[in-house]
């Protein structure tokens, strides 16, 4: 049987049967990979803490041509983010990040920037950057990487620039200036528009400089709504976050 080894982040695990687990990995260059971890459901197993959510590791696996799932043989931890991800103030944010990635990325879709983005988010949280700002940064960058982020610098109808305020089209496909607006309700302030543009050239670790500019909750809801609209799904994890209440 063919064998391979690949760096990846653990996004989810679930029981497959009494002994095995189903693991979904976000790989560095091959997108999502679904694998069986034999014996991982046992209390004592060879994988140990390797399969904790958002653990970065080198995963060795093999496959058969007649099976959809690959099988994990072993692995080594590169970096454990368990203390960050499991902290009470962080855990539901990371649930949402994982759910968005799992639902929004199609199997076989190779987008290495998402892997690097999640690692940057994890490292930034380790350094104390606020989780709500990191979530907002992630949403903007994920939409940008998929070619779905609207241009925050111009009206999609008349082309007007330097907008002080803009409204998101009801179909989420662009912004409208005050002159072109016709009943749209989702409004973005100048600071929110500037933040979206800013993310294109700055790392998530720099989000702290925006802390006093505006509250991120409104823009988090807007960008999450855009992801749900385009993906045609509802994110269950968002109900646990204060930004959605």
| Spatial distance between the Cα atoms of 141 and 112, rounded to a whole number of angstroms | 13
Angle at 138 between CA 203 and CA 93, to 5 degrees: 120
Cα first-last separation, the chain: 50
Rg of the Cα atoms in the chain: 20
Cβ atoms of 204 and 138 within 8 Å: the answer is yes
* Structure-token pair, residue 87: 């902290």
Do 97 and 202 fall into the same domain? yes
3-state SS of 221-236 is HHHHHHHHHHHCCCCC
Q: What CATH number is associated with residue 235?
A: 1.20.1440.120
Say yes or no: 66 and 122 in one domain.
no
Q: What is the pLDDT of residue 66?
A: 73
**90 with 42, same domain?**
no
Q: Report the share of the chain in percent with pLDDT over 70.
A: 98
Pick from 150, 107, 106, 101: which is nearest to 121 by CA? 101
b (16+ CB within 10 A) / e for 57-93: bebebebeeeeeebbbbebeeeeebeebbeeeebebb
| 72 and 88 share one domain | no
* Same domain? 73 vs 110: no
Do 190 and 92 sit in the same domain of this protein? yes
**How do residues 117-140 score in pLDDT, each as one tens digit?**
999 999 999 999 999 999 999 999
- The pLDDT value recorded for residue 208 is 94
CA dihedral of residues 210, 215, 216, 217 (deg, nearest 10): 170
List the strands of the sheet with 165-168, edge to edge.
175-176, 165-168, 187-189
Query: Which range of residues forms the domain containing residue 54?
Result: 3-80
Is residue 19 helix, strand or coil? coil
Q: Do residue 97 and residue 69 come from a single domain?
A: no
Same domain, 158 and 237: yes
Q: Do 94 and 72 reside in the same domain of the chain?
A: no
Give me the number of domains the chain comprises.
2
Arithmetic mean of pLDDT, 163-171: 96
CA-nearest of 201, 209, 244 to 129 is 209
Look up tokens 């960008």; give the residue.
223
Given this model, what pLDDT does residue 1 score?
Answer: 60
pLDDT for res 207: 97
Domain boundary among 47, 62, 80: 80
Q: Are residues 140 and 76 in the same domain?
A: no
Question: Which H helix or E strand runs over 77?
Answer: strand 70-79
Q: What is the pTM of this model?
A: 0.95
**Is the pLDDT at 163 greater than 80, yes or no?**
yes
CATH of the domain at 42: 2.40.50.140
Residue after which a domain boundary falls, among 43, 61, 80: 80
Same domain? 234 vs 115: yes
The last residue of a domain, from among 60, 80, 100: 80
Together in a domain, 175 and 91? yes
The CA distances from residue 112 to 7, 29, 145, 146, in Å, are 11, 5, 10, 12
More confident residue, 111 or 222: 222
């Amino acid at each position: 049987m063919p064998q391979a080894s690949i760096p990846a982040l653990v996004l989810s695990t679930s029981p497959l049967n009494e002994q095995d687990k189903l693991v979904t990995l976000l790989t560095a260059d091959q997108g999502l990979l679904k694998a069986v971890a034999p014996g991982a459901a046992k209390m004592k197993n060879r994988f140990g803490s390797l399969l904790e959510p958002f653990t970065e590791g080198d995963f060795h696996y093999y496959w058969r041509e007649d099976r959809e799932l690959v099988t994990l043989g072993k692995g080594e931890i590169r970096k454990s983010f368990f203390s960050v991800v499991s902290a009470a103030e962080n855990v539901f944010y990371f649930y949402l990040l994982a759910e968005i990635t799992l639902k929004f990325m199609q199997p076989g879709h190779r987008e290495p920037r998402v892997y690097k983005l999640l690692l940057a988010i994890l490292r930034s949280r380790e350094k104390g950057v606020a989780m709500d700002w990191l979530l907002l940064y992630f949403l903007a960058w994920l939409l940008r990487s998929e070619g779905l982020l609207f241009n925050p610098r111009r009206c999609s109808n008349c082309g007007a620039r330097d907008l002080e305020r803009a409204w998101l089209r009801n179909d989420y496909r662009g912004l409208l200036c005050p002159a072109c607006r016709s009943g749209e309700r989702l409004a973005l302030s100048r600071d929110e528009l500037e933040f979206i543009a800013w993310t294109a050239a700055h790392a998530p670790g720099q989000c702290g400089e925006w802390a006093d500019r505006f509250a991120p909750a409104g823009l988090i809801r807007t960008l999450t709504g855009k992801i749900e609209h385009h993906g045609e799904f509802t994110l269950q994890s968002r109900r646990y976050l204060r930004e959605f209440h």
